Structure 1
């Protein structure tokens, strides 16, 4: 068979016994359990959930939860090739995300952590895991950070879930200053934490800052606030079973919001006229009916250098993170 007769290299659906991840340029041989997980409905649904939520409406951030998941999995398999449970956890860490990812978090009943646990305990995934000697409880401990690992931790040290998001976002935005493949050569693992040199750590802090700027941008805040209002009304009026909402993709929810008369016009305007949405931090500059949006959390997990956080040894890194704190707080969103 010639290379022109072979199948496409970068498939996402578990049709092959290996996975090629194009951002990091990592080729991973897949275990039987991983192939079955990749083919499961729980994971396939993530290819129809946009990682950036509503910001895919008005920015280039159109990559999906599945693309991010495959990036994280490839990194885990690269650094921890023999940790079967951790590899499985990295494939499953985002399965609880509902339509539009984080955009609708905060609406009563929308809890991706709870939905993740529910899916792990459901017959499809629990059957795959137990068939291959994997413990769903151990998988859950990795996912929620109870068992610290390169996938997730609660220590404020950069882990691979966030690393993939930062690099993927920077690549999409066109401001990535280092090739992802070259970055791998600058990262090592010591005591379940990523370590690097000071220069690389400071570069990563700049990516962390850019991601925070994106989250606090008018482009991101505006469309997400409007979508949250529209979806909130539909949920309040229609009162669908939340289990059904949890299984929706972005397009499924879009169709509900477009076809429901009280939300149809606003949803169409959101999709087609997002440039009319304005955002301000000044209450007196916004009309009385403006929506309120609160940014109360930004992701500031930082890399380590010789066992110390870069913010403990670099004034530049410390100042970069400190300068972002003022972006937290209340914003006002309105149509013009």
Structure 2
């Protein structure tokens, strides 16, 4: 699903709304930094074995369009929404924690340096103010248990493309409002949003996705050691560029891992029980966000909402990954 640009108008087909972009926003959309996000899968390595192919740019435009719709005059918040994911690595979160990266820190560095900073300064914006917004509780994102725009778009976008929503995202968006920094709605809509949250987590935390995340991390580590390069070499790459590096490596172990990831994922064995020699991959973080209903947490109104949040939290577990050494005929 792609957004359509027409001069200064941006149409998001997920929500079926059109937003007028400001001149500095259009220049950022046309920058290499933002264009790179088109070649990073929002769905991580799950995009390698599923039909779900939407990008970080799709998500970014969705988040920006919601902020622009509800807060049209807050130009700095709109900029924060537009730039909030520019520091992501190839395949988004797939290798970030395992290899010791932090896309938030990368984002801050890219706002302070290079073409993004040049564009901001050209139009009189201070990058430090945008970074401060990214590190504060705002309608874009927050460190509380309540839902902001960033996760709202992720839940609805992913769940819709998985085929797990019973109401269209545009209908759900029409039914929400902001109570301060947090999304508020009626009980029925809130439960639909939580359904999307559950579907999203169940899908992107699918054991096969977790397994491929782990194997990709091992391939990147092995590549860096064999070719004697810093792990940071992957930071500016797109999905395709990273796969090219790995596929053209002369390291046999890297070649074997890439072959399994791309062409023979059926060889991967996954268990929740520890096995000798297996790679342990841990799911330590979930996005168990609450919607406000009548100014209060939805879980105070609905036992069903409590169960949905518990479903998401139950996905925090460890998996043990291995694969057959000998190829099957």
TM tier relative to shorter chain:
over 0.9
Cα distance in 2 for residues equivalent to 1:238 and 1:311: 52
The CA RMSD measured in Å over matched residues stands at 1.7
Cα distance change of structure 1 residues 74 and 192 upon mapping to structure 2, 3 Å threshold: same
Are residues 1:222 and 2:215 paired? no
Moved more, 98-107 or 250-259: 98-107
Which residue of 2 is the match for residue 180 of structure 1? 169
1:255 corresponds to which of 210, 223, 244: 244
Any gaps of 5 or more consecutive residues in structure 2?
Answer: 325-329
Cα distance in 2 for residues equivalent to 1:236 and 1:204: 44
Which residue of 1 is the match for residue 46 of structure 2? 55
Cα distance in 2 for residues equivalent to 1:110 and 1:291: 20
Which residue of 2 is the match for residue 3 of structure 1? none
Are residues 1:150 and 2:139 paired? yes
Which residue of 2 is the match for residue 205 of structure 1? 194
Cα distance in 2 for residues equivalent to 1:132 and 1:325: 43
Question: Residues 73-152 of structure 1: matches in 2 within 5 Å?
Answer: 73-144=64-135, 146=136, 148-152=137-141
1:300 alignment partner, SS class = coil
Structure 1 contact 221–279 (Cα < 8 Å) conserved? no
Task: Give, in angstroms, the shift of residue 96 of structure 1.
Answer: 0.3
2:4 alignment partner, SS class = coil
Structure 1 contact 158–194 (Cα < 8 Å) conserved? yes
1:194 alignment partner, SS class = strand
Are residues 1:237 and 2:230 paired? no
Are residues 1:66 and 2:57 paired? yes
Deviation digits for residues 79-127 of structure 1 (CA, Å, limit 9, x no counterpart): 1111101111111000000111111112445221121111001131111
Structure 1 contact 258–265 (Cα < 8 Å) conserved? no
Structure 1 contact 290–333 (Cα < 8 Å) conserved? yes
Moved more, 113-122 or 257-266: 257-266
Are residues 1:328 and 2:316 paired? yes
1:166 corresponds to which of 155, 170, 176: 155
Task: Give, in angstroms, the shift of residue 169 of structure 1.
Answer: 0.7
Cα distance in 1 for residues equivalent to 2:145 and 2:220: 33
Question: Residues 263-278 of structure 1: matches in 2 within 5 Å?
Answer: 263-278=254-269
Structure 2 contact 45–94 (Cα < 8 Å) conserved? yes
Cα distance in 1 for residues equivalent to 2:12 and 2:55: 14
2:7 corresponds to which of 16, 21, 24: 16
Cα distance in 2 for residues equivalent to 1:74 and 1:326: 32
The size of the alignment, in residue pairs, is 321
Task: Give, in angstroms, the shift of residue 137 of structure 1.
Answer: 1.3
Q: Give the TM-score taking structure 1 as reference length.
A: 0.91
Moved more, 73-82 or 126-135: 126-135
Task: Give, in angstroms, the shift of residue 216 of structure 1.
Answer: 2.8
Cα distance change of structure 1 residues 242 and 128 upon mapping to structure 2, 3 Å threshold: farther
Cα distance change of structure 1 residues 324 and 125 upon mapping to structure 2, 3 Å threshold: closer
